[in-house]
Amino acid sequence: MRPFGLARGPAPATVEEGDVNEDKIIMSIRNIALRPLALAAVLLAAAPAFAAELPAAIKARGTLIAAIVPNYPPLDLRDPATNELTGLDVDLGNAIAAKLGIKMQWQETSFDQMVSAVDTGRVDVIISGMTDLASRHDKVSFIDYMQSGPQFFVQASRAKEFPDMQALCGKSVGTSRRTSFPNEIAAWSEAHCKPAGKPAITVVGTEGSPDARTQLKQGRVDAAMQGNETLPYVMGLEPGAYAVVGDRISSQLTGIGTAKNATELQNAIAEALGQLVADGTYGKILDKWKLSGDAIEKVTINAGQ
């Protein structure tokens, strides 16, 4: 694990959230190794002992209240077998709380209400796959914990037709029209297809990521795009159905949101997260959810653009 540092500064260009919040389908997580005993050992190892102080009210309460929307697998979901909250965010939030010497109190809300909830103090933090965007910094500050971005994928049966991303030039790509991904695809096509003398990608806007995958399976589009943080989960649910093409085409930072001026809380969480990076707990949590490729190299605050 590389050394971590707390930094504020520029990060790669961000995109809006990948369109998975509308995936209102029943998903199984049996393909994911939960390893409860191993995780318990990790959390026990995360003993609180560091310089940054929690706000007195949170310390006295003994809990950190976090807003979550459990419909963004594998970051946030409910285990269909137990109905318990689970996902990368839940594991990471619980580990941070343990490091701070308090307990996590999860509060379900709607995505649209999360910013106002933390801004007005109804919750202490947002831990629910929220992108660190500069446009949100007027009300929310973010402790960044993951980096991801949009990625092309095709039917596995056609993978040999697409050895690299340039093979997508002149083809049709489906993606949710409710995200920035249509513009991302168009920009990538302009930058890579046209200079190579190849025809542009045809962008097909869909009603969401499930619709894009349906059109892909039906052969109505040649490829699809969604956030690379969700693809391992989807591919685990449908083994052998899809193959990724190339790397993500841009990057976004995902962060833990706090009220804009909650500096004391931000510093405490950033230090706790940094210690989880340093002691390997962070890496183990990402490995569990097959997202080790999205790990950050250092803890940043408000590095999103």
Q: For the chain, give the secondary structure using H, E and C.
A: CCCCCEECCCCCCCCCCCCCCCCCCCCCCCCCCCCHHHHHHHHHHCCCCCCCCCCHHHHHHCEEEEEECCCECCCEEECCCCCCEECHHHHHHHHHHHHHCCEEEEEECCHHHHHHHHHCCCCCEECCCCECCHHHCCCEEEEEEEEECEEEEEEHHHHHHCCCHHHHCCCEEEEECCCCHHHHHHHHHHHHCCCCCCCCCEEEEECCHHHHHHHHHCCCCCEEEEECCCHHHHHHHCCCCEEEECCCCCCEEEEEEEECCCHHHHHHHHHHHHHHHHHCHHHHHHHHCCCHHHCCCCEEECCCC
This prediction has a pTM of 0.75
- Quick one: fold of 150-245? D-Maltodextrin-Binding Protein; domain 2 (3.40.190)
pLDDT in tens, the chain (305 residues): 333 334 444 433 333 344 444 443 334 444 444 444 344 344 434 444 455 789 999 999 999 999 999 988 999 999 999 999 999 999 999 999 999 999 999 999 998 899 999 999 999 999 999 989 899 999 999 999 999 999 999 999 999 999 999 999 999 999 998 888 999 999 999 999 999 999 999 999 999 889 999 999 999 999 999 999 999 899 999 999 999 999 999 999 999 999 999 999 999 999 999 999 999 999 999 999 999 999 998 999 999 98
Residue spans of the domains in the chain: they are 6-148+251-301, 150-245
CATH topology identical between 6-148+251-301 and 150-245: yes
For domain 6-148+251-301, give its CATH number from 3.40.190.10, 3.40.390.10, 2.60.40.1930, 1.10.10.10.
3.40.190.10
